[in-house]
Structure 1
């Protein structure tokens, strides 16, 4: 079973809200627990370069999960992810974030 790499792109106009999200993602590997244990392998967020190719996205989050089942748990049951979503509610513009995920190459 391969690891899952997930990228989530947000359009958050306020710099202070972007910094809040970056700080929250930086603690996600210890805050997010499943069966009483941390389960996210890696989580980080940063600002993309201010470039027309960014299409208005102001924050990119990268999260690595041990499996697709763990990512599904994150989406449906994880209390830390629910806190993150509550923190960002009303701060993200132009619809929901863009989320893509893929098998993570063994070499990454």
Structure 2
């Protein structure tokens, strides 16, 4: 089964809120646990360059999962993901763009 690479593109207008999101992504691989063990293979985020081609997206997160099932767990059950969503609630302009593919 191939690994899943997920890219999540956010439109976060405030620079301070972008920094909050970056800090959450720095610890995501340790914070996210499934059956008592970390399950996200890698995670990180970067601020985008100010460029009209980015469509207003200011932050891109990269997350790698061992399987689609692990990504589904992240979306539906992961407490660390819920915590990340809580930090960003009300700070993101519109829903994020989420792309995923075989790594």
TM-score range relative to shorter protein: over 0.9
**CA-atom RMSD, angstroms?**
0.4
Number of equivalent positions: 103
Moved over 3 A (4+): none
Deviation at 1:48, TM superposition (A): 1.1
Alignment correspondent of 2:43: 43
Are residue 76 (structure 1) and residue 85 (structure 2) matched?
A: no
Specify which structure has the higher proportion of strand. 2
Return 5+ residue gaps in structure 2 as ranges. Answer: none
* TM norm structure 1: 0.94
* TM norm structure 2: 0.99
1:91 and 1:18 map into 2 onto residues whose CA distance is 9
Return 5+ residue gaps in structure 1 as ranges. Answer: none
Q: 1:34-85, CA deviations, whole angstroms, 9 ceiling, x for partnerless residues?
A: 0000000000001111111111100000000000000000000000000000
Alignment correspondent of 1:55: 55
